[in-house]
Amino acid sequence: MTHHNTQSITKDGQLLIKKMETDQVETVWDRHQAQQPQCGFCEMGLSCRICVMGPCRIDPFGEGPQQGVCGADADIIVARNLCRMIAAGAASHSDHGRDLVDVLEGVAENRAPGYEIRDLEKLKKVAAEYGVSTQGRETAEIAAELAAAMKQDYGTGKKEITLAARAPEKRQDLWRRFNIMPRGIDRETSEAMHRTHMGVDNDWQSLLLHGLRNALSDGWGGSMIATEVSDILFGTPQPSASKVNAGVLKQDQVNVVVHGHNPVVSEMVMEASRDPEIIKLAEAKGAKGINLCGVCCTGNELLMRHGIPMAGNHLMTELIIATGAVDMMIVDYQCIMPSLGRVAACYHTKMVSSSDKARFPGMEHVEFHPENAREKALEVVKSAVENYINRGSVFIPVEPLDSIGGFSVEAVLGALGGTPDPLIDAIKAGKIRGAAGIVGCNNPKIKHDYGHVTLTKRLIENDVLVVDTGCAAVANAKAGFKVNEAISYAGPGLKEVCGSLGIPPVLHFGSCVDNVRILVLASALADSLGTDISDLPLAGAAPEWYSEKAVAIGAYAVASGIYTVLGPMPPIAGSMNVVELLTKGLEQVAGAAFAVEPDPEKAALLIRRHIENRRGALGLDSADL
């Protein structure tokens, strides 16, 4: 028995959960319930499976074992586990970035048909940052050299990764002072695995510091490369209108849904879905066309750059299939629940996996590489069209909502007239109290989208500008916060500023790798004020986070000086030393720390307090909350 209104706040979510119950198909919520109670050792980070003298666990009550077989105590075990979570998250983003660099290299070498350099300006700008000369050179040459330079960042040939130079000087100095300036993207991840091996780093503080360095290698390295190269290859996003929620699926068209993270596959699928031959085939099958939609972050990538409609976030991925309207779902990697193949088997949906590093039960594997992506995309979309006639009954629960996406840093600065000054002036004048990045996943522990939407609502009504990415961005779009009229939800100051700029009070910044856009914008604001990111009236939140990637993001945000409020508790409660360090001690190191607050109403207050506090320190008017 399920309780749809305790599982999701979204109308489409509730109706589709109910449908899956009627259809007798298991959902992520059912599996979550079946897992209760979850292991307290693991929830507290007190279990260690690192070596086979173990596995070990520490009794939090102090009477049972207090040390693992190797002698590691609770502090060491918790710190090692957390460090490994960061390493896995950083590896995921960074490997995603590497795949884009491979495509960039393929374009340069003319062996990636269908891909091209769409933003030459950005190519040149980034190339300049990498010290690649652009004057009077062929695009392909620049691209080749940039790709090679980026690969250097992945390796061990450098003392500091290139894009760390984008951070304010003060921040860079701080990183050097605490010896957490990342040296190489893969190096830091690799070192994290080494340090956490039995018998290497057994000082919980130095383990955590390395965790921060590893996270920074993601935020200012792998993720940033992913975003920048995506912009170079597929265009830097500009604001454009789109539609969101399960209602974007169309009864009378072939619905192809892309799921995952990397635009390398979805961009080619988009091209294929526009192929006249295939559209003709779709019409021959009785469909009125091909409707490409996204879910999760690859959906965000397409929405940002092309206004492709967005069907839902992480917890919607099973539900979308239950509409019976999805003729094909093409996945690449990350956050793809292995249950999807089983769900699809209950409907007519054809599932296709596309990455050589990500395979799933119940999916057909069609491997995409830069060399064959265009051809493979045509092949799978054709097969999606052929599947249209196999549809059973279709239930599309709601009408789609309007939403504006596409706020890259370039686009935001464009809207401001080319400089961050109007934003800074609005902050100084107190019309906008500050800004918050609301990011991260969905988690069945938290009522679906409740954390994102409630927190966002409370912040904008108190004149805090919200930028969002990932699943949070989809939640807020579905809540109707991303149309210009949504300024009616905003407090008077924010309403005035957004109204005059013609932008929504909540800005869609992209996918989860696009959190780096927040870092870049924050750096621009700090530079403009001649200060550090940690001095800004700025905060981050991940109200419904679940993944290791989110741990890496949270860690690089804090290490970059952004106060970050987490919804679910990370597995650290087993060591009060680690808890103290992450929630208080880091303030002394990074000028920012974590907070854990599952109640978004309270989280909003924490963020507003932090923002007011920073305003006061900057000599701006500040309220006592």
Partner 1 sequence: MKYVIIGNGVAGVTAAETIRQHDASGDISMISDETFPPYCRPMISNFLEGAVPSEKLPIRGKDFYDKNRITPVLGSRAAFLDPDSCMVTTKDGRQLPYDRLLIACGADPRRLDAGGTELENIFFMRNINQVRQMIDALPQVKNALVLGGGLVGFKAAYSLLRRGVSVTMLIRSGYPLSMQVDETAGRMIREVLQSHGLTVRTGVSVEAFEGSGRVEKALMSDGNRTACDMAVIGKGVFPAHGFVPVDRIKTDAGILVDENMHTSASGIYAAGDVAEYFDLSRQKHWVNAIWPEAVSQGRVAGMNMAGHRISYRGSLSRNVIRMFDTDVMCAGRVSERDVDESCRTATAFDPRRNTYRKLVFEGNILVGFVMVNNVEQGGVLTSLVTSRMPVDISDRYLLDPGFNFSRFMRL
Partner 2 sequence: MKQVIVHPERCVGCMQCMTACASAHSKTGRLFSAVSESPLPKPRVHVGAGMHNHGFPNRCRHCDPAPCRMACLPGAIYRQTDTNTVMIDPDVCINCASCAMACPYGVIRYHADPLAPAGKIIAVKCDNCIARQHKGLIPACAEACKTGALTFEESDAAMKKKTDRVAKSVTAETALPEQAPGFALLNTVKKAITEINLCR
Cross-strand bridge partners of residue 259: 295, 331
Among the residue ranges 22-30, 216-224, 316-324, 332-340, the one whose residues contact partner 1 (CB under 8 A)? 22-30
Strand partners, 329: 257, 351
Q: Could you say which of 14, 32, 33, 488 contacts partner 1 (CB under 8 A)?
A: 33
Non-local CB neighbours of 128 within 8 Å, separated by 6+ positions: 134
206 binds, among partner 2, partner 1, none (CB under 5 to 8 A by kind): none
Closest to partner 1 by CB, 3 or 159? 3
CB of 573 to partner 2, least distance (A): 4
Binding site for partner 2 (CB under 8 A): 6, 33, 36-44, 47, 57, 59-65, 445-447, 450, 454, 568-569, 573-576, 579, 596, 598-599
Rule CB under 8 A: is residue 73 a binding residue for partner 1? no
Residue nearer to partner 1 on the CB measure, 22 or 133: 22
283 near partner 1, judged by CB under 8 A: no
Q: Which is nearer to partner 1, 34 or 284 (CB)?
A: 34
- 255 in Cβ contact with 324 (< 8 Å): no
The least distance separating partner 1 from the CB of residue 341, rounded to whole angstroms, comes to 19
Among partner 1, partner 2, none, residue 44 binds (CB under 5-8 Å by kind): partner 2
Is 299:225 a contact under the CB 8 Å cutoff?
no
For residue 185, CA distances in Å to 164, 191, 224, 255 come to 11, 10, 11, 38
Q: Find the binder of partner 1 among 12, 30, 75, 188 (CB under 8 A).
A: 30
Binders in 444-473 for partner 1, by CB under 8 A? none
Stretch in the footprint of partner 1 (CB under 8 A) among 1-9, 184-192, 278-286, 590-598: 1-9
Nearer of residues 43 and 73 to partner 1, judged by Cβ:
43
How many residues of this chain interact with partner 1, rule: CB under 8 A? 12
Alpha helices, DSSP H only, in 155-261?
169-177, 185-195, 204-217, 223-234
CA distance linking residue 106 with residue 425, whole number of Å: 44
Exposed, middle or buried by CB within 10 Å (0-12, 13-18, 19+), for 598?
middle
* Residue whose entry in the numeric block shows the structure tokens 């949070």: 472
Least gap, CB of 599 to partner 2 (angstroms):
6
Which residue(s) pair with 540 in the sheet? 437, 564
Closer CB to partner 1, residue 36 or residue 110? Answer: 36
| Contact in structure between 50 and 28 (CB atoms under 8 Å) | no
Task: Kindly compute the dihedral angle of the four CA atoms of residues 514, 520, 526, 529, in this order, to the nearest 10 degrees.
Answer: -120
Q: Tell the smallest beta-carbon distance from residue 426 to partner 2 (Å).
A: 32
CA 447 – CA 14 distance, rounded (Å) = 11
Residue linked to tokens 């050097």 = 176
Peptide bond into 55 cis (omega under 30): yes
Give the full edge-to-edge strand order of the sheet including 563-566.
506-510, 464-469, 434-438, 538-542, 563-566, 594-596
Structure tokens at 487: 């300024």
CA 166-95-97 angle, to 5 degrees, is 45
- Closest to partner 1 by CB, 25 vs 287, is 25
The site partner of 24 among partner 1, partner 2, none (C-beta below 5 to 8 Å per kind) is partner 1
| Interface mask toward partner 1 for 35-54; x: CB under 8 A | -x------------------
**Of 289 and 598, CB closest to partner 2:** 598
Q: Report what 30 binds from partner 2, partner 1, none; CB cut-off 5-8 Å by kind.
A: partner 1
From the list 20-28, 182-190, 317-325, 431-439, the region that binds partner 1 by CB under 8 A is 20-28
Q: Least Å distance between CB 259 and partner 1?
A: 25
What SS3 state is found at 65?
coil
Q: Which does 574 bind (CB under 5 to 8 A by kind): partner 1, partner 2, none?
A: partner 2
Which residue number, 377 or 471, has a Cβ lying nearer to partner 2?
Answer: 471
Angle at 60 between CA 56 and CA 63, to 5 degrees: 90
Residue 259 CB, shortest distance to partner 2, in Å, is 26
Taking the complex as a whole, the smallest distance from the CB of residue 573 to partner 1 amounts, in Å, to 14
- Selection from partner 2, partner 1, none that 22 binds (CB < 5 to 8 A by kind) is partner 1
Q: Which SS3 state, helix, strand or coil, does residue 183 take?
A: coil
Please, which residue, 421 or 461, has the CB nearer to partner 2? 461
Cβ closer to partner 2: 328 or 578?
A: 578
427-432-435 Cα angle (round to 5): 90
Q: Which is nearer to partner 2, 57 or 259 (CB)?
A: 57
Q: Which is nearer to partner 1, 2 or 152 (CB)?
A: 2
CB of 22 to partner 1, least distance (A): 7
In angstroms, the CA 498 to CA 455 distance is: 19
**Cα(555)–Cα(562) distance, integer angstroms:** 9
Instruction: Work out how close the CB of 455 gets to partner 2 at its nearest, in angstroms, rounded to a whole number.
Output: 12
Burial call 43-71: b when 16+ CB within 10 Å, e when fewer: bbbbbbebeeebebbbebeeeeeeebebe
| Partner from partner 2, partner 1, none contacting 175, C-beta within 5 to 8 A by type | none
Question: Rule CB under 8 A: which residues touch partner 1?
Answer: 1, 3, 6, 21-22, 24-26, 30, 33-34, 36
